[in-house]
Structure 1
Amino acid sequence: MNIYSDMYSLFAEDKDAKKYFEALSENTQKQIIMRANSVNSFDDLLEYADQYSCEG
């Protein structure tokens, strides 16, 4: 698993992660963006997406 400094670095290197993020609801995206510095891998992105899509 690759580790990145933040969500934006992840998206720059992993186009699948960016596509996945863009397919999420706007509310879920906003919640994840507020924690962009904590999204250091695709696994982190998946965990946050699961957490915030359930709160929806």
Structure 2
Amino acid sequence: MAGSVSGGCVESAVVSEALEVLATGDRRMVTFGYSDDEAFAVGLTCGGTIHLFIEPLDW
């Protein structure tokens, strides 16, 4: 994986999803979101939702 999709709060979950996509070859849509209380607890003071489409690339 190269780059970043957040301030680091969901990076490990994204890497896990990407590794599974690479292992299975199946693409997927994943969503990460937090309520206001949960957002504050993990440092996402802006809240919001992140939608990612992950697919394997065969270069």
- TM-score normalised by length of structure 1: 0.31
**TM-score (norm. length: structure 2):** 0.30
Greater percentage in helix: 1
